[in-house]
Structure 1
Amino acid sequence: MKKGKFLGSLGVVSATALTLVACGKSNNNSNEGAKKADKFPVETANKAAKQGGTIKVALESDTPFTGVFLDELQNDQPSADVSSPGQESLFDTDDNYKINDKGPATLKLDRKAKTATITIKKGVKWSDGKQVTAKDIEYAYEILANKATKSQRYSSQYAIIDGLEAYRDGKAKAISGIEMPDGENGLKVVIHCKELKPGMYNSGNGYLLESAAPYHYLKDIPFDKLESSDKVREKPLYFGPYRAQKVVRGQAVTWVPNKYYWRGKPKLDKIIIQVITTKSASQAIKSHKFDVARVVNSQWKEVKDTKKITFVAKVPLAYFYMAFKVGKWDNKTSKNVMNPKAKMSDKSLRQAMAYALNTDSVYKHYTDGLSFQVPTLIPEQFGDYFAKDNNGYSFNLKKANQILDKAGYKKKGKWRTTPEGKPLTINLLAKGNTPIDEPIVQNYIQQWAKAGLNVKLIGGRLSEFNSFYDKVQHDDPKVDVFLGGWMLSSEPSAEQLYGQGSIQNYSRFVTPENTKLLQEMDSQKAFNHQYRLDKFHEWQKYMNDQAYVVPTYNTYQIDAVNSELTGFSQKPSKMNNGHILWGNVAYAK
């Protein structure tokens, strides 16, 4: 269930940790870094591992991590990253993200019976020694669906499970579609669905959770107190390779082996994950202060020749984007509601703002060629689901001005007015993460000024990450447009991010056509691969035209890893739901 985590530091750090664009000339070698990154390995050399040792991992961030150590309530990438030594998915996958039987639990789908059967392996234990049970899986769904938790992970997709909506609406005390045939302490859960979906064979499908929550440990905490409780913030339980020994809120977590880990005792004695500022990232890498550190791409030239380091790289399943606020979330109905009178409800205005951005050249310039423009909301890594004939919004200032002229946004002095002749000021929410963000965002604003659009930063400055996140989630009325980023799940369905019933549809756009296309791409007809492809391509074309959310760029993710380490891999089959499987990492003999 990793779709839709806000990108933060370790998620995909680049020169700009949100979608920030600037005026600037691309240097002649703008693709040089990208070509180099393509040649980097996706894992460290496979060597014999030895027992013992401590590693330090840098979490590059200029703001504290929120530290919610419970997957069903976790919604930002820094928290997910700092949780990763303990947090483990129920299911393992192959390199194409298809769920297999090698993980802590197995999954069996029966289309005729409309059931998903999850069987936990005996010996999969929480870090206090208790076996993971059927109740722990049911409890995870309760945390997700109960309105008192205010989980941002909830989506109407989960209503495919019988009885889940009745539970969410307070009409039932339990989710009737979750059956535990061997009782709460058994190892089997049968989930009864209205129908099965084609994406359910893959991890990250958005219809089935891939997590469990320790019911025996958390059951006495009221749902509305769960997120703030010490058991979630300071003393979490996981069934992954490591357990949290010490949490310094917002700053550091020390992990030690989970002696009950079902795959066997992990090799390392200790993993310390510590927050450092982005300014100090390159020096930390060069001085070998950390054994694992994410390269800040704007600092690549400073670190590329560092000795005793293996640079491991990949293009992550992620993208950054510009989104326009056109509505709000209604908690009573659990639906997004559009406001037809919203300032950004005019498609022409949205399109013009997108065309005014010189995204590709600017990001290549500022990140030494390690970033690149993304044309659609379905990344190229999804193979034939990606609509390669979609060019997106390439920089075209002339076209931006023409669109605004035609739509009636007339210039009155320096700035354009609304078609009704009223002054137009557009309020921008953007986050600052590195020293170059401020000039980049100001240049961004200058780009819009060239089109006659008066865009101003909310509060007159860049927002701190947690404040940004709070304003976006809770539909701050001041926000007209915001610059965000997603870490995506490994199944391309877009319902969980852009559906009417998804809290994470932060733009709050809802149209009959969008709903229809999202439903069709996950329908029974979509078990036919070509039909599903056609619907994905239609949706990308539609979203590109409507421009409620405009993808901007992605960036190579490069980790600087101590060359004495082995088992550090970015291959999907060797990862844990998008994270390094720390149980495999060790010092080489």
Structure 2
Amino acid sequence: MTKARKYFGALALISGATLSLVACGNNKHTNSSNANKTNHKFSETVPVKSIKKGGTLTYALETDSPFTGIFLPELSDTTIDDKVQSPGLESLFSTDDQYKINNKGAATFKLNRKAKTITIEVKKGVKWSDGKQVNAKDVEFAYEIIANKDSKSQRYTESLADIVGLAEYHEGKSKKISGIEMPDGENGRKVVLHFKQMKPGMLQSGNGYFWEYAEPYHYLKDVPFSKLLSSDKVRKSPLFFGPFRVSNIVRGQSVSWERNPYYWRGTPNFEKVTASVVSSSSATQAIKNHKFDIADVVNTQWDQTKNATDTNFIGEVPLNYNYLAFKVGKWDKKLGKNVENKNAKMNNPALRKAMAYAMNIDAVAKRYYQGLAFRVNTLIPEQFGDFSDSSIKGYPYNLKKANELLDKAGYKKKGEFRVQPNGKKLTINLAVRNNATTAEPVWRNYIQQWKKIGLNVKFVGGRPMEFNNWVQAVQSDDPKIDVFEGGWQLSSEPSPNDLYSAAAPYNMARFVSPVQSKLLADIDSEKAFNHKYRVDAFRKWQKWMYNEAYVVPTTNSYSITAVNKKVTGWSVKPSATNWFSAGFVK
């Protein structure tokens, strides 16, 4: 499973389809915290039985839009693309079930805090699906893709810029990344990363300070960075060093995979894999008819799905949350950072909090999600243990408090609706993903709730947006959008720096604060190698975000997978190696 990246996408609760990405919840906390908010408990692994070699596994890609098919993790940033490429895409590193990096994967890992280095050595015999050994240059090349402005990668962040020379390369001041050393040359297998400062999360996968993937330099070197996104080598015939390689792609609809004959661990049990798109509205029937061997359960259809015959259901509470975010600025391409507009319509914490308090989230979760969803109170999920601040109570439904906040802040009623404190008309434009049959009724409900406190909220375009259009509009700061809902699939290291810092492209609310910058710096500082200090830093940031309410967490839900009883060994644990080790029952 992939663990290193943060995604926004057509998933989680509102999408109906559950997530697949860094998705596996931390086993240590899953059943002791969030799980208590529902009446359901699930095993994380299908019972292991004798496995036979061979057979074609059918795998559901649940989406109501065609997948983009960007087979390059440095450029793809939606969960569905991650899921599409999962049979072939493999991280350099393996982890345990608490996401701590170990040396059981394709490369070994050694951190030297004093020297400010991390040494990565690709194992001999780890080969691309064309038979060429994965080498040091392949590891470095992935950084070049991310940091070269021509590639337009969303992955370049302040966190990665802690690598010496990466910022200079990004700015075009250097043709090489000086802090990536290849002691045995480009064709060697060893890479030494030099950092400006070491960070406490570096031992965890998904930490954001180094990339966990490699790309085939020998194969892609002749493709200009500006052409990578559209290249046939990325879209039609990508190379991987994971268990499977692509045999056929029907653009946006299906991908067929065959065994990678050069896979370093050996021969996968499945002979072939076929991954095909199915709409969220058709998913339940597809599961009941055994159209797919592996399929995510649409939570809103759980009652219709749970009695499917010859099916095992496994599940976990993933590292996710859905949220409501308030646009208060824009992304400045020249500066490479967010710029907040203090005069933005939504730049008033009282207005933001009032909207949060007016949302009847608990009632919606109960009505539409059949006991599998629950309200979350803070932006650091409970699976992260004491880093999550349980003292924060979030914004439970409270129309009286919502009205009081608006009254005190000067949002006076003028007829049916309130006006801004300056007396101007107030219309709030909301962008919503149309990624489930429940999306429209759920958000029309919230619009009615906001009307009860005198706020005139309308869908951008009059209805929920097609998912890919939503992505483009939110990322490009479409001026029509005042408020948007979304969902994050989090990486397995809890630092929020890549999502909410001043220089984070994914800070799509575009808020900037010197106070927050200091709080985020504390979370990832040298002092934070002390666990107690880091816990305190996390809690201070959560309280600040709660008080400012630029981004309000709303819900999370169980991620349930339906597994045909013919399949054994399939797991949602972080350490799982499903594509290699699972198979059909003998």
Q: Bin the TM-score by the shorter chain.
A: over 0.9
- Matching residue of 1:22: none
Matched, 1:269 2:271: yes
Matched, 1:393 2:390: no
SS at match of 2:185: coil
Cα drift, residue 434 of structure 1: 2.1
- Structure 2 CA distance for partners of 1:16 and 1:33, relative to 1, 3 Å: farther
- Take 1:91 and 1:12, find their aligned partners in 2: how far apart are those partners? 29
- Matching residue of 2:230: 228
User: What residue identity is the alignment partner of 1:442?
Assistant: R
- Take 2:435 and 2:230, find their aligned partners in 1: how far apart are those partners? 26
- Matching residue of 2:242: 240
Which of 140, 143, 146 is matched with 1:144 structurally? 146
- Matching residue of 1:330: 332
Per-residue Cα deviation, 1:491-525 (whole angstroms, up to 9, x for no partner): 00010111111111111111011100100010000
Of 436-445 and 204-213, more deviation after overlay is shown by 436-445
User: What residue identity is the alignment partner of 2:40?
Assistant: A
Cα drift, residue 306 of structure 1: 1.2
SS at match of 2:205: coil
SS at match of 2:485: strand
Q: What pairs up with 1:150-165 in 2 under 5 angstroms?
A: 150-165=152-167
Whether contact under 8 Å (2:496, 2:520) holds in the other structure is yes
Cα drift, residue 49 of structure 1: 1.2
Of 439-448 and 97-106, more deviation after overlay is shown by 439-448
Which of 56, 76, 83 is matched with 2:78 structurally? 76
- Take 1:266 and 1:222, find their aligned partners in 2: how far apart are those partners? 34
Which of 565, 580, 583 is matched with 1:583 structurally? 580
- Matching residue of 2:566: 564
Matched, 1:185 2:187: yes
Per-residue Cα deviation, 1:150-178 (whole angstroms, up to 9, x for no partner): 11111111111111110000000010000
- Matching residue of 2:551: 549
Per-residue Cα deviation, 1:264-308 (whole angstroms, up to 9, x for no partner): 010111111110111111111111111111110111111111111
- Matching residue of 2:178: 176
- Take 2:431 and 2:559, find their aligned partners in 1: how far apart are those partners? 25
Cα drift, residue 17 of structure 1: 8.1
Whether contact under 8 Å (1:14, 1:367) holds in the other structure is no
User: What residue identity is the alignment partner of 2:506?
Assistant: Q
SS at match of 2:230: coil
Which of 103, 127, 132 is matched with 2:134 structurally? 132
User: What residue identity is the alignment partner of 2:503?
Assistant: G
SS at match of 1:427: strand
User: What residue identity is the alignment partner of 2:553?
Assistant: P
- Matching residue of 1:339: 341
Whether contact under 8 Å (2:63, 2:280) holds in the other structure is yes
5+ long unaligned stretches in structure 2: 20-33
- Take 1:571 and 1:426, find their aligned partners in 2: how far apart are those partners? 41
- Matching residue of 1:578: none
- Matching residue of 1:311: 313
- Take 2:232 and 2:87, find their aligned partners in 1: how far apart are those partners? 19
SS at match of 1:58: strand
- Matching residue of 2:459: 457
Matched, 1:37 2:52: no
- Matching residue of 1:285: 287
- Take 1:239 and 1:32, find their aligned partners in 2: how far apart are those partners? 36
- Matching residue of 1:478: 480
Q: What pairs up with 1:408-487 in 2 under 5 angstroms?
A: 408-487=410-489
Which of 42, 47, 50 is matched with 1:48 structurally? 50
Cα drift, residue 13 of structure 1: 6.7
- Take 1:270 and 1:427, find their aligned partners in 2: how far apart are those partners? 46
Cα drift, residue 125 of structure 1: 0.5
Q: What pairs up with 1:337-416 in 2 under 5 angstroms?
A: 337-416=339-418
Pairwise CA RMSD of aligned residues?
A: 1.5
SS at match of 2:58: strand
- Matching residue of 1:66: 68
- Matching residue of 1:208: 210
Cα drift, residue 37 of structure 1: 2.9
- Take 2:261 and 2:55, find their aligned partners in 1: how far apart are those partners? 16
SS at match of 1:73: coil
Whether contact under 8 Å (1:3, 1:497) holds in the other structure is no
Q: What pairs up with 1:448-527 in 2 under 5 angstroms?
A: 448-527=450-529
- Take 2:156 and 2:563, find their aligned partners in 1: how far apart are those partners? 35
- Structure 2 CA distance for partners of 1:471 and 1:378, relative to 1, 3 Å: same
- Matching residue of 1:102: 104
- Take 2:443 and 2:560, find their aligned partners in 1: how far apart are those partners? 24
SS at match of 1:8: coil
SS at match of 2:101: coil
Cα drift, residue 196 of structure 1: 1.0
- Take 2:4 and 2:154, find their aligned partners in 1: how far apart are those partners? 12
> What is the total number of aligned residue pairs between the two structures?
570
- Take 1:33 and 1:328, find their aligned partners in 2: how far apart are those partners? 39
Of 198-207 and 151-160, more deviation after overlay is shown by 151-160
SS at match of 2:445: helix
- Take 1:35 and 1:442, find their aligned partners in 2: how far apart are those partners? 25
Q: Which runs of 4+ in 1 moved over 2 A?
A: 1-4, 11-18, 31-37
Cα drift, residue 331 of structure 1: 1.7
Cα drift, residue 107 of structure 1: 1.0
User: What residue identity is the alignment partner of 2:296?
Assistant: R
Cα drift, residue 63 of structure 1: 0.7
User: What residue identity is the alignment partner of 1:257?
Assistant: R
User: What residue identity is the alignment partner of 1:297?
Assistant: N
- Take 1:362 and 1:477, find their aligned partners in 2: how far apart are those partners? 29
SS at match of 2:128: coil
Cα drift, residue 441 of structure 1: 1.4
User: What residue identity is the alignment partner of 1:69?
Assistant: F
- Take 2:358 and 2:38, find their aligned partners in 1: how far apart are those partners? 27
- Take 2:38 and 2:167, find their aligned partners in 1: how far apart are those partners? 49
Whether contact under 8 Å (1:58, 1:292) holds in the other structure is yes
SS at match of 2:94: coil
Cα drift, residue 12 of structure 1: 6.2
Whether contact under 8 Å (1:13, 1:294) holds in the other structure is no
User: What residue identity is the alignment partner of 1:514?
Assistant: Q
Whether contact under 8 Å (1:326, 1:344) holds in the other structure is yes
Per-residue Cα deviation, 1:391-430 (whole angstroms, up to 9, x for no partner): 0111111101110000000000001000010000011000
Whether contact under 8 Å (2:106, 2:126) holds in the other structure is yes
TM-score normalized with structure 2 length: 0.95
- Take 2:313 and 2:38, find their aligned partners in 1: how far apart are those partners? 14
Which of 320, 323, 329 is matched with 1:321 structurally? 323
Cα drift, residue 345 of structure 1: 0.8
Cα drift, residue 567 of structure 1: 1.8
- Matching residue of 1:25: none
- Structure 2 CA distance for partners of 1:573 and 1:257, relative to 1, 3 Å: same
SS at match of 2:126: coil
- Matching residue of 1:197: 199
- Take 1:33 and 1:389, find their aligned partners in 2: how far apart are those partners? 17
5+ long unaligned stretches in structure 1: 19-30, 576-580
